Amino acid sequence: MKCRSTRFGNFEVHDDTLLVFPSGILGFPEWSKYVLLDHDTEAPFKWLQCVEEPQLAFVILDPAFFKPDYQIEVSLDALIEIQKQDSDELSVVTILTIPSDDPTAVTANLRGPLVMNHRTRLCKQLVLSEEWPTRYPLFSAAPAQRPSPAAPLQATAR
Whole-Å CA distances, 90 to 1, 76, 156: 26, 14, 11
**50-106 pLDDT per residue, tens:** 999 999 999 999 999 999 999 999 999 999 999 999 999 999 999 999 999 998 899
What's the sign of the alpha-carbon dihedral 106, 112, 69, 147?
Answer: negative
68 versus 140: the higher-pLDDT residue is: 68
105 burial via Cβ count (<10 Å: 0-12, 13-18, 19+): middle
Per-position DSSP letters for 67-95, written without gaps between them:
-TT------HHHHHHTT--TT--EEEEEE
Rounded to the nearest integer, the mean pLDDT of the chain is: 87
Q: Which of 62, 56, 54 shows the shortest CA–CA distance to 26?
A: 56
Helices and strands in the chain, H and E counts: 1, 11
pLDDT tens per residue, range 116-137: 999 999 999 999 988 999 999 9
Q: Which residues contact 151 (CB under 8 A, 6 or more apart)?
A: 62, 64, 91
**Domain boundaries defined on the chain:** 2-137
DSSP type of residue 142: P
| Residue 78, C-beta contacts closer than 8 angstroms, at least 6 positions apart | 115, 124, 126
105: helix, coil or strand? helix
| Residue 99: predicted pLDDT | 92
3-state secondary structure of 15: helix
Please give the CATH superfamily to which domain 2-137 belongs: BH3618-like (2.30.290.10)
